Chain A
């Protein structure tokens, strides 16, 4: 391997990237746009759930409950209906997600004592949001129930006892339970996976399609030299993008960075090596830009989005799919970057993930150079 040949290829590739002003803009703007889109767009914070009310009781008692509902930031009462049909229409058309129905004998039941229920209808199409909203509703009604009980006990001149048990929740690493803290480090991983594989997946295929590959082959450059030369500029671009994303996450989105900077960059470079050589391999195998880009889309974007644990927790997937996720490099990087970002976990504790990435990088580089040699014969 000769360094000057690598340098020559790298220089050629750099010139090619730089000449295309649009691709430079993309390399700079894409991470920013993605970061903003994900950072603001992905939020599981359920608030202001659109709620209909059907109060068949219409007494002071039921109004008390509804007032409590109105005061809560989790529910927005958008309409008070007076018949069931309107309520059904509201849920069917999606105008409301939740509907609270107070039965006509609500006050009567409370006076008589014993258990009374408030019917809460929820559009459970989105099961997750429905579940969270229901939990808030439970807490609210429970609080109301407690007030009623206290008044009842006081009226009978008995001593009021506090609630027998309370849960003191301590939320580590993300005190306010904001989904942004979880999403932002994840976006860094996604951006890297995408930028890395996409840009490189076209680099060899382009040479084949334009017929410049023959010219390259006739030069004394060796497959490994060609690969290193081609990938170096993209590696530099990738590192810059990573820094840009992290900076945005920390300064714009105010996500805490608790780990050490060198760990962050060391693991990032390792991951970039994996995605870059993956893109290169696809490019060598597919030979056409259309096929290469389609394949890179299939190989990186959607898996990094859906199978890496970015949004959907891996441990909740069926076992078979969990096995599949082990083939997705982004999975390992996702857990590394989150731990480094939010928890400040030292890399030593993350050695299994790092090792997996190292194995991926080695195998992909070997396979890619070999595949390239085969293509030439």
Chain B
């Protein structure tokens, strides 16, 4: 068995690594992509380009605007008194937010009536809009508080210290600077591993079948198990090398803190790669041309990435989709990656994810092997 398997492995490695272009495609892009996507994937909202329409133009209104200007979240792009210009700029996408202060703002404040600030926001990107308006609210409430405090200080200084006031003490754990990158870099790592390994294996058997060399292999004394092993081991190893490269870039370049143990990370990665291999093989057994394999792989990849919680939280999806996401190996792997990196979690808390990955890989690999023996008859 060993001798035959070894021959098969040698053949596979030669086939994969022979072509200079393929060699590059295997190891170059993962690193480049990791670098680019690691930087690109961020949902932090800063420097929102803002237009200011200040019809009041008083000490108070200017104070409010100065606060916006002083915050890192907004960048004043234009000051104008022409409301129609705002419409055009938002249409074109030049500004995302427009702050309009109507005449009477200062007067209302002095009279003790509620003064209003209008925030017009381009909500075509709802997440940006939501967060930007959140920041405007924060600034407004701080402004209100300080204005009130000043007023009280003048009328009855004693009550200033006596009036109860309840605030939120924010304790962001694991990510004190709320860095978006720390969340997305492990996510990009998982994505890249999935894409690379899945595509490689999906093509493995289909290519032999399409070129017609599968029959030739089948007439050799090689057994099915040996054949499948011979097909998967090289890709598993290549996937492992890519995984190490990707992890190195994520940890060393992006400086995402690796708080957990490398062993847990390695165990999760191996289980996940096995799942990817299984899915790739399964696709390979179902398709007869490489084009079909490509499209089928894509059919799997797209939902797998979306439902994994990579970009948007699983908890925000409809319930039926959350149920589907339980068969998505990436879902579990992302939990493992993020927990090991940021939380430093060990096997004691991650065993459900590990068990899920192990089960999935067993079921998928098993089905793939069974289907393969059938597809030969």
Q: Give residues in A with beta carbon < 8 Å to B.
A: 20, 22-23, 26, 30, 33-34, 37-38, 40-50, 65, 91-94, 97, 109-111, 113-132, 134-135, 137-139, 141-142, 144-145, 148-149, 152-153, 156, 161-175, 177-179, 181-182, 194, 198-199, 202, 206, 209, 286, 288-291, 293-295, 297-298, 301-302, 305-307, 311-313, 315-318, 320-321, 324-325, 335, 338-339, 342-343, 345, 349-350
Verify A121–B173 contact, CB threshold 8 A: yes
Q: Bound state CA distance, A121 and B172, in angstroms?
A: 6
Query: In the complex where A94-B339, A316-B44, A317-B42 touch, is A163 in contact with B114 (Cβ < 8 A)?
Result: yes
What 1/0 mask marks residues of chain B from 150 to 163 whose CB sits below 8 Å from any chain A CB? 00000000010111
Q: Bound state CA distance, A47 and B162, in angstroms?
A: 35
Contact check: which of B124, B313, B315 meets A342 at CB < 8 Å? Answer: B124
List of A residues within 8 angstroms of B191 by Cβ? 302
Q: Bound state CA distance, A163 and B36, in angstroms?
A: 46
Per DSSP, are chain A's interface residues mostly helix, strand or loop, or mixed? Answer: helix
Q: Bound state CA distance, A173 and B91, in angstroms?
A: 10
CB-CB nearest in chain A for B171: A121
Per DSSP, are chain B's interface residues mostly helix, strand or loop, or mixed? Answer: helix
Q: Is residue B316 within 8 Å, beta carbon to beta carbon, of the partner chain?
A: yes
Verify B167–A115 contact, CB threshold 8 A: yes
Contact check: which of A42, A149, A175, A198 meets B123 at CB < 8 Å? Answer: A175
Query: In the complex where A38-B306, A124-B178, A321-B36 touch, is A43 in contact with B317 (Cβ < 8 A)?
Result: yes
CB-CB nearest in chain A for B102: A168
Identify which of B19, B22, B133, B172 gathers the most chain A CB atoms within 10 Å of its CB.
Answer: B172
Query: In the complex where A49-B315, A135-B137, A152-B163 touch, is A306 in contact with B211 (Cβ < 8 A)?
Result: no
| Cβ of A73 to closest chain B Cβ, rounded Å | 13
| Cβ of A191 to closest chain B Cβ, rounded Å | 10
Q: Is residue B117 within 8 Å, beta carbon to beta carbon, of the partner chain?
A: yes
List of B residues within 8 angstroms of A349 by Cβ? 88, 91-92
Number of chain B residues close to chain A: CB under 8 A: 114
Q: Is residue B109 within 8 Å, beta carbon to beta carbon, of the partner chain?
A: yes
Query: In the complex where A114-B162, A134-B170 touch, is A345 in contact with B92 (Cβ < 8 A)?
Result: yes
CB-CB nearest in chain A for B37: A306
| Cβ of A200 to closest chain B Cβ, rounded Å | 11
What 1/0 mask marks residues of chain B from 301 to 327 whose CB sits below 8 Å from any chain A CB? 111011100011101111001000000
What 1/0 mask marks residues of chain B from 203 to 226 whose CB sits below 8 Å from any chain A CB? 100010011000000000000000
Verify B119–A113 contact, CB threshold 8 A: no
List of A residues within 8 angstroms of B116 by Cβ? 165-168
Q: Give residues in B with beta carbon < 8 Å to A.
A: 19, 21-22, 25, 29, 33, 36-37, 39-47, 49, 88, 90-93, 109, 112-131, 133-134, 136-138, 140-141, 143-144, 147-148, 159, 161-176, 178-180, 182-183, 188, 191, 195, 199, 203, 207, 210-211, 289-292, 294-295, 298-299, 301-303, 305-307, 311-313, 315-318, 321, 335, 338-339, 342-343, 345, 349
List of A residues within 8 angstroms of B349 by Cβ? 92-93
Verify A37–B303 contact, CB threshold 8 A: yes
List of A residues within 8 angstroms of B114 by Cβ? 162-166
Contact check: which of B91, B173, B180, B210 meets A128 at CB < 8 Å? Answer: B180
List of B residues within 8 angstroms of A316 by Cβ? 42-47
Query: In the complex where A94-B335, A166-B117, A182-B125 touch, is A126 in contact with B313 (Cβ < 8 A)?
Result: yes
Query: In the complex where A162-B114, A177-B130, A313-B45 touch, is A339 in contact with B91 (Cβ < 8 A)?
Result: yes
Q: Given A97-B315, A166-B115, output 16 extra A-B contacts at Cβ < 8 Å.
A: A43-B317, A125-B342, A134-B168, A134-B170, A135-B134, A141-B167, A163-B114, A164-B148, A167-B116, A168-B118, A179-B312, A194-B298, A312-B311, A318-B39, A339-B93, A339-B124
CB-CB nearest in chain A for B134: A135
Q: Bound state CA distance, A11 and B377, in angstroms?
A: 35
List of A residues within 8 angstroms of B163 by Cβ? 113-114, 149, 152-153
